[in-house]
Every structure is written in structure tokens, then in C-alpha cells.
Amino acid sequence: MIGVRALNVRPHGPWWPPRAVLYLLATGITGLLTLVTTVLLFAVGGVLAVVVVGVPLLAALALTGVPVAALERVYKRQAWARGCGPGTPSRAPGARSGSPRC
């Protein structure tokens, strides 16, 4: 019988790192606002398309991701400025196990 040790993994701590919580809150709120805006633009544009006023609103749906992408780039730049970019270790070399780098 082969023992499976991969399932016997203990988490590093009972809490998430503060940077992960902040990122989750920021992107979660941004995503929710984007969803609400997109649904409202679609509903109002669909109703007003009869009068031809809603056609530009429906065209604006294609551009709703542009501000969100710019905000994500800001988040990424701030993370890279702290040295938390891709390929960087989560802890500084020689640091204690409880001291995160980012």
C-alpha cells in the first residue's frame, strides 16, 4: 500500500497575508462594479436602442474592460515596486519562516 503524504499538508498559518487580502478586496470590488456597470449599460442600451440613442451605449460595452485593465496594471506595478513580481520568492533569502518578503 502506498501512503499519500501530499494530503497531509499543513498551512503556513491560519490567516492570509495582508497583501493577498487587500488584493482580493480591491479586485473583488472592481469586478463587482464592472459587472454592475456592464449590466446597466446593456439594459439601458437595449431599451434605448429603439430610439437609436442606445446604440452608442451598446458600443460602449466593448470598452468597459479598458479602465479595469488600467487599474490591474497599477496593482501589478505596485506589487513589482515592492519586489513581488513573477519569479520572485515569497520570502527573502535567509529570513525567518514567518516574515514575508512582499
Condensed to tens digits (0 to 9), the pLDDT of residues 78-100 reads 877 776 655 555 555 555 555 45
Task: Return d(Cα 56, Cα 28) in angstroms, integer.
Answer: 28
The confidence band for 12, taking pLDDT boundaries of 50, 70 and 90, is low
CA 84 to chain centre: 15
pLDDT at 90: 54
> What is the per-residue pLDDT across 18-67, written as a single tens digit (0 to 9) for each?
777 888 888 889 899 999 999 998 999 888 888 888 888 888 888 888 98
Residue 72 pLDDT greater than 80, yes or no: yes
Residue 14 pLDDT greater than 90, yes or no: no
pLDDT at 13: 58
- Entry pTM: 0.60
Task: Return d(Cα 87, Cα 81) in angstroms, integer.
Answer: 14
pLDDT at 20: 77
Average pLDDT over residues 1-24: 65
DSSP 8-state symbol, 90:
S
Contact 45, 57 (CB under 8 A): yes
- Give 4-55 as a DSSP string: --TT-PPPS-SS--HHHHHHHHHHHHHHHHHHHHHHHHHHHHHHHGGGTSHH
